[in-house]
Homo-oligomer: A and B are copies of this chain.
Amino acid sequence: MSLNVKSERDLPTAAPPLSVHPVPGLPEVQPGDDLAGLIAQAAGSHGLALQDDDVVVVAQKIVSKAEDARVWLDTVTPSSFARQWAERWERDPRLVELVLRESRRIVRMDRGIIIAETHHGFICANAGIDLSNTGSDAVAILLPKDPDRSARLLREGLHVHTHQNLAVIISDTFGRPWRRGLIQVAVGVSGLTPVIDLRGLPDADGRTLQATELAVADQLADAAGLVCGKADRMPVAVVRNYAGPRGDGRAAELVRSPEDDLFR
């Protein structure tokens, strides 16, 4: 067994490196825009013709904008609970109200910050709501209602525009316990397997791996984040030469059931 492993290690990889390409030149996305068309065009006009098996990673915010998942804060009437909490922590009561509406459970609520479990099952600050002043007044941008569906539609749209079989990840920027700094996670997936199960494969020492699942969709989102940054200037990146399995995965698979989660 160890001989086998050694000989595999000594093989040079002929495969090209994984590469992560920012897609510049995307216009400000508007409600109703054909986002797939805009992405295909921006990529093509910057010398990045999309290819079979490319993974297109798209920031949640522009997907939400294209789907018009926006709420003008002026239209929101805060509950008394939202009002008193917002007052205590000097927050906008209308935003607090919206966060509560987008949540099925509050995980933590302290020092002006709300960690919420969204209706999708994601756990993140402010239920994933971004504030934006696209025009005159403050506008809240919600997570897409069904980000896996958004990813699938985007993938189908990209196929129409490029005739290539791509995978799509819709990414968002989340905090996490115990470690500083935000990372990227996949909130929507289409065309790839988001969690790879390595159980039963031998490791380098010949031991059989047990219960080793890799969240590759989150890792792909993180890789894309390295060229995108948080300042939203570059909401799309393409990961090329990712060798992992494709298929019918959904980001919903990344949500861990409480009874299965010793970390929580």
Residues of A with Cβ closer than 8 Å to B? Answer: 2, 5-6, 8-13, 15, 17-22, 24-28, 46, 107-108, 110-111, 113, 115, 122-123, 131-134, 173, 175-185, 194-196, 198, 201-207, 209, 212-216, 218-220, 222-223, 225-227, 229-233, 235, 239-240, 242-244, 253-256, 260-264
Contact = CB atoms under 8 A, between A and B. Distances in A.
A165 B6 CA distance: 30
In the complex, which of the residues A110, A178, A220, A253 has the most CB atoms of chain B within 10 Å of its own CB atom?
A178
Contact of A198 (B17, B111, B231): B231
21 contacts: A2-B28, A8-B233, A11-B25, A12-B24, A13-B46, A18-B227, A107-B263, A108-B263, A122-B178, A123-B177, A175-B263, A176-B263, A178-B256, A180-B254, A183-B218, A198-B231, A203-B232, A204-B233, A209-B230, A214-B229, A216-B226
Contact of A223 (B21, B206, B222, B232): B222
B230 A214 contact: yes
Which residue of A13, A26, A225 has the most chain B CB atoms within 10 A of its CB atom? A13
A262 B111 contact: yes
Contact of A255 (B6, B13, B111, B179): B179
B6 A28 contact: yes
A225 B233 contact: no
Nearest to A196: B181
Interface centre among A134, A209, A216 (most CB of B within 10 A): A216
Nearest to A194: B181
Contacts of A229: 198, 214
B202 A231 contact: yes
A254 B183 CA distance: 12
Given A204-B231, A204-B232, 19 more contacts: A8-B233, A11-B24, A15-B22, A18-B227, A28-B204, A131-B207, A133-B205, A180-B213, A180-B253, A180-B256, A181-B195, A182-B212, A182-B214, A198-B229, A201-B231, A209-B231, A216-B226, A219-B226, A227-B243
